[in-house]
Every structure is written in C-alpha cells, then in structure tokens.
Amino acid sequence: MPRKNKDSQAEQSRPGQTAGRPAYLRGLRPREKPPGEVKEAAPVETHEEQEPKEDVELYRWTNWLLPRRPLVAVFVIASLIGCIVLAYWAVPQPFFVAVITIIFLNRLAPYLFPVTFILTEETVGYRTFLARDIRNWDVFLAYREFPDGVFLTHDIRTFRGRLKEGIFLYYYEDCSNKDEILRIVSTKLKPLDEALSAPQEKKENKGGLRSAFDRIRRLRSKK
C-alpha cells in the first residue's frame, strides 16, 4: 500500500502532466514553444471610419418684412389680435386660446419677426421665432426671379409638385445682396423656363392602384 501511494504521488509531480482527466480524454495539447521564442501577433485590420461630409455655409442674411409696409403691418397685427379675441369669445378657455395663438404666430412668423435665411452646400431655408423651414436643394426643380427676391419651386408639371409649398428668398430692401444670392442659387438650380423645357423623366412604376390602371390601359391600347 505505501508503494502505491508513492507511485501515484510521483506521477502527479511529473512536469507537463495535469491530474484529473485521463490522457485519452484530454485531447491534443498545444505545442509548447521554447522560452526564448516570441509569438508573433497577427496583424489587426483597421478600418478607418469615413467622417460625414461637413455642410459648408455659403451665405447668411437677415430680413424683416414687417416694417417695409407700415399700413399693411398695422392691418395684419390688428387682424391677428381680432382673431385671438374672437377665439376667446367663442371658447373662453386659456389652453384653447394659447393653441390658436401659437398656430397664428407660426404661420405669420416669417412676416412678423426677423427671418434669418441660410444657404449651404446641401440645404436652403430660413429660421425665425416659432418657425423653421430647412430643405435640401435637390427637392426643388428650379428658381424664378422677382423684384424683391427669388422663389424656389417644385416640379409644377405634376399635381404633387403644385401642392408643395416652395421657399421665397427675400433680398435686402435695397437689393444689395441680390447678385450674391442669385449666384449661389444658379449654381444649385436652373431657371424655371429652362427646367420646364427639359424633358420630364419618367418614373418607374412602384406598384399600387395607379400603376395597375396604367398597365391595363397600355394593354387595351395595344389590342
């Protein structure tokens, strides 16, 4: 018995062996490298993240339309106050009157308050009190010049384009920044007459009832 215990202790003390599971269940052991050999690290692939393209501001100016025509301004302000008083008389609830007031101010904000117009490489629009409208250049089809500004319009050849509201960029009252605004707008959009004379691109059928009716109509015309 003492001999058996000594043999088992000798087997456990042998270097390179671990006690516990039998050798045929331990699987293949990794090959040990000499102490002086250093394992080479695998090269790590680094993927450089593409930084988003920064939108560069091209031009910014501020206009205030209210003081340009004092009589019209008085009429607009009086009408606004009258509508608010009428709303309070019809529904004397502060919350309802506050909502109606915010709606009126939001629709009339580009006229009542100073407006900051912003032209960048990607977007065009304005910001003012309680109102903001910033859009991409590619949503517009063309522009049209007026004595006091330039109008950015959608494709008015389609019903949807006629329903969409464009953006009017007002010049300074003395039109001192007219050339700069037209220079930037002309690099992004075409004049309205030139854009309308170009052939309209046919859109692919995206499915739906309208495309189905169009296909049936084309089949009937072939027969």
Burial class (CB in 10 A: 0-12, 13-18, 19+), 185: buried
* pLDDT-derived band at 208, boundaries 50, 70, 90: low
pLDDT tens digits for range 33-43: 555 555 555 55
Average pLDDT of the chain is: 80
Residue type, 206: K
pLDDT at 157: 87
Average of per-residue pLDDT across 16-28: 52
* pLDDT, greater one: 143 or 13: 143
pLDDT at 158: 87
Strands of the chain, DSSP E: 57-63, 115-120, 123-128, 131-136, 142-146, 149-153, 167-170, 190-191
Cβ atoms of 188 and 138 within 8 Å: the answer is no
pLDDT at 7: 52
Q: At what angle do helices 94-112 and 70-90 cross, to 10 degrees?
A: 170
Give SS3 for 128: strand
pLDDT tens digits for range 191-205: 998 888 877 665 554
* pLDDT-derived band at 129, boundaries 50, 70, 90: very high
* pLDDT, greater one: 122 or 55: 122
